[in-house]
């Protein structure tokens, strides 16, 4: 039971409220807010409750000049100068401030836009205000930091957002993203794969367009560049050779200084090597995930993937994988290949089949030697290893569930999300929802039940027999039988 109520406290609260209330019968100490404080409060509220659509427009206009060709920029600057001369000195100062954004300021604007479009509604609004051309322009920027930010913003807008997927697809987002797959920066390539994955997942037309544009070959080639550390080691070795070459003999002080500089360079090179290796592995995981999705949705492409040389690259990924997640990603792609009869036959005839089998058996042995808790945590990897090893040792091809020629170009549409015309913003007048009051619904149900009962009674009177009588009883609502 609760504690007894202290009525004295309630009486004290009542007396206090009566003492401090203002009923207009006596003067009040409350004064009107000064004009300067009122203006400050209004500005603070407007800044705090700023419309995201307006803010996206401001960011779009500030970033619109980035990535344009030099001729277009010069022509646009001439037009702006003419407009500024007509509009006066104030407009000229504003244009100069907008044109003078530094790279750090543009990166900050992109980061702010990234935070805004994480909302599904804001992502759609970005397209409606014409934000896609600005993103496509940023993808051609001379700064890698702006290119990868533009790709990441594009990926965030399209992720699980069917209207934006279609709008960006129609707006021409695919070609620039395909071009970024060959970007010198590994971060840009990673963000491009992320954006392409957001474009094709659960959107059949995007997946088909990616396939027709050579997406499978591009992913296979990209996996060859990111699946191993050979490129990273070669680049680091070249950097180390270049730093040590050209040293001239001199005094002991100069030699000690050179040794110190060499030690610092080696530490910096090692740190850079580790960072590059981490970025390459992150890229490989994303490529494997997108490749696995494509092969699941289009089983007929599995033979083509094997012919493009994906099997040796998968073996290299398995051999150099630093963790279970990377191995699971590579094993998932390999299992998808071995589940298709023609791809299975190609792998059986491949010269590296025996080395691949030995690699799988070695990984199985390592998995069996893990501690029970670790082995349980990596149970999926153990299942994939057993599945792939059994498929390589099998004498007969698999049944081809979900694969073969029947898994044609339309198989990628099985998880396609249809776009509601109302959600797409078109033909909204035709989208009507009939709303009926509960009382009207109840009356209609009663009339329907009475009609059914009348028909049953009429049939019983006409000699329908016991069966008809039972049907009449079944037609009576439960509340009438009680």
Report DSSP letters for 195-208, one per residue.
Answer: HHHHHHTT-HHHHH
CA max distance for the chain: 125
Cα–Cα dist 384/388, whole Å: 6
Tally the C-alpha atoms within 13 A of residue 279's C-alpha that lie toward its C-beta. 16
Number of domains within the chain = 2
d(CA 342, CA 348): 10
pLDDT of residue 47: 72
Among 185, 213, 241, give the residue marking a domain's end: 213
Does one domain contain both 373 and 286? yes
Question: Cβ(182)–Cβ(222) under 8 Å?
Answer: no
Closest by Cα among 286, 279, 193, 284 to 235: 279
CA-to-CA distance for 167 and 150, rounded, in angstroms? 16
Which residues in 277-355 belong to E strands, given as ranges? none
395, 412, 444: which is the final residue of a domain? 395
Residue ending a domain, among 361, 395, 429, is 395
- Same structural domain, 229 and 181: no
Residue 10 domain flag: no
Task: Tell me, yes or no, whether 188 and 225 share the same domain.
Answer: no
Return the number of other C-beta atoms located less than 10 Å from residue 314's C-beta.
26
Tens digits of per-residue pLDDT, 462-477? 554 444 344 333 444 4
Residues 328 and 389 in one domain: yes
**pLDDT tens series, the chain, 482 aa:** 556 767 777 888 888 887 777 666 666 667 788 889 888 888 887 777 678 888 999 999 999 865 544 444 445 445 545 555 554 444 344 333 345 689 999 999 999 999 999 999 999 999 999 999 999 999 999 999 999 999 999 999 999 899 999 999 999 999 999 999 999 999 999 999 999 999 999 999 999 999 999 999 999 999 876 544 444 454 444 444 333 334 444 444 445 555 455 566 888 888 888 888 889 999 999 999 999 999 999 999 999 999 999 999 999 999 988 889 999 999 999 999 999 999 999 999 988 899 999 999 999 999 999 999 999 999 999 999 999 999 999 999 998 654 433 344 444 455 666 555 545 554 444 444 343 444 555 666 666 666 666 665 665 555 544 443 443 334 444 444 34
Cα–Cα distance between 308 and 310 in angstroms, integer?
6
Four-CA torsion 98, 100, 103, 104, nearest 10 degrees: -80
* Domain annotation covers residue 98: no
The DSSP 8-state label assigned to residue 142 in this structure reads S
- Of 361, 401, 408, nearest in space to 382 by CA: 361
E strands in 68-114:
none
Q: Give yes or no: residues 55 and 154 share one domain.
A: yes
Task: State how far the Cα of 114 lies from the Cα of 117, in Å rounded to an integer.
Answer: 5
Nearest to 323 by CA among 274, 378, 280: 378
Which tokens belong to 158? 């399209």
Query: Under a CB-based contact definition with an 8 Å cutoff, are residues 265 and 251 in contact?
Result: no
The pLDDT, as a whole number, for residue 453 is 66
pLDDT at residue 482 in the model: 40
Q: Provide DSSP, 44-101.
A: HHHHHT--HHHHHHHHHHHHTTTT--HHHHHHHHHHHHHHHHHH-HHHHHHHHHHHT-
Q: Are residues 225 and 176 in the same domain?
A: no
Domain that holds residue 172: 51-64+103-213
Is residue 309 a part of any domain in this protein?
yes
Both 191 and 205 in a single domain? yes
Is residue 43 included in any domain, yes or no? no
195 with 305, same domain: the answer is no
User: What is the structure's pLDDT at 356?
Assistant: 94
Residues 206 and 228 in one domain: no
Q: Exposed, middle or buried: residue 285 (CB in 10 Å: 0-12, 13-18, 19+)?
A: buried
Q: Is 429 inside any structural domain?
A: no
Whether residue 144 contacts residue 94, with contact meaning beta carbons closer than 8 Å, is answered with no
Whole-number Å distance between alpha carbons of 359 and 317: 11
Asked, for residue 303, whether it belongs to a domain, the answer is yes
Cβ pair 118, 156 in contact under 8 A: yes
Specify if 365 maps to a domain: yes
186/225 same-domain check = no
How many other C-beta atoms can be found within 10 angstroms of the C-beta atom of residue 101? 16
pLDDT of residue 148: 97
| Shared domain check, 171 and 57 | yes
User: For residue 161, what is the domain's CATH number?
Assistant: 1.25.10.10
Does 261 map to a domain?
no
**Which of 323, 327, 283, 332 has the alpha carbon at shortest distance from 305?**
332
Q: How far apart are CA 234 and CA 230, in angstroms?
A: 6
Place of tokens 């039988």: 481
pLDDT tens readout for residues 189-213 = 999 999 999 999 999 999 999 999 9
**Is the domain of 198 the same as that of 223?**
no
Cβ 91 vs Cβ 55: under 8 Å:
no
């Amino acid at each position: 039971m609760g504690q007894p109520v202290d009525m004295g406290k309630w009486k004290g609260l009542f007396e206090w409220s009566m003492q401090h209330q203002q009923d207009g019968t006596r003067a009040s100490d409350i004064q009107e807010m000064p004009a300067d404080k009122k203006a400050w409060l209004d500005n603070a509220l407007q800044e705090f409750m700023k419309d995201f659509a307006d803010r996206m427009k401001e960011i779009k206009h500030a970033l619109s000049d980035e990535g344009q060709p030099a001729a277009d920029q010069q022509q646009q600057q001439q037009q702006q100068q003419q407009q500024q001369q007509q509009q006066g000195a104030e407009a000229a100062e504003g244009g100069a401030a907008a044109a003078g954004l530094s790279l750090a300021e543009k990166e900050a604007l992109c980061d702010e836009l990234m935070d805004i479009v994480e909302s599904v509604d804001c992502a759609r609004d970005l397209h409606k205000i014409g934000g896609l051309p600005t993103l496509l322009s940023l993808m051609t920027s001379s700064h890698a930091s702006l290119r990868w930010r533009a790709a990441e913003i594009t990926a965030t807008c399209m992720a699980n957002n069917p209207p934006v997927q279609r709008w960006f697809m129609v707006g021409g987002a695919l070609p620039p993203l395909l071009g970024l797959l060959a970007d010198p920066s590994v971060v840009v390539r990673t963000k491009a794969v992320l954006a392409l994955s957001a474009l094709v997942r659960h959107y059949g037309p995007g997946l088909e367009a990616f396939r027709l544009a050579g997406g499978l070959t591009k992913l296979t080639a990209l996996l060859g560049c990111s699946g191993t550390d050979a490129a990273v080691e070669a680049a680091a070795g070249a950097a180390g050779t270049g730093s040590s070459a050209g040293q001239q003999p001199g005094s002991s002080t100069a030699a000690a200084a050179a040794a110190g500089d060499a030690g610092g360079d080696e530490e910096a090179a090692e740190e850079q090597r580790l960072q590059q290796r981490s970025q390459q592995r992150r890229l490989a995981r994303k490529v494997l995930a997108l490749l696995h999705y494509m092969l699941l949705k289009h089983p007929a492409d599995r033979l083509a993937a094997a012919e493009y040389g994906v099997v040796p690259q998968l073996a290299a990924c398995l051999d150099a994988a630093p963790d279970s997640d990377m191995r699971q990603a590579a094993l998932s792609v390999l299992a998808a290949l071995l589940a298709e009869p023609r791809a299975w036959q190609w792998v059986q005839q491949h010269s590296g089949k025996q080395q691949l089998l030995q690699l799988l058996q070695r990984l199985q042995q390592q998995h069996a030697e893990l501690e029970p808790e670790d082995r349980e945590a990596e149970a999926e990897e153990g299942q994939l290893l057993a599945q792939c090893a059994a498929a390589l040792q099998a004498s007969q091809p698999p049944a081809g569930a979900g694969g073969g020629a029947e898994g044609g170009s339309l198989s990628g549409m099985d998880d396609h999300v249809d776009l509601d015309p109302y959600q797409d913003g078109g033909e909204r007048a035709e989208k009507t929802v009939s709303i009926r009051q509960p009382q009207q619904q109840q009356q209609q149900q009663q009339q329907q039940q009475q009609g059914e009962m009348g028909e049953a009674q009429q049939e019983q009177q006409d000699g329908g027999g016991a069966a008809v009588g039972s049907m009449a009883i079944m037609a009576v609502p439960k509340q009438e039988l009680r």
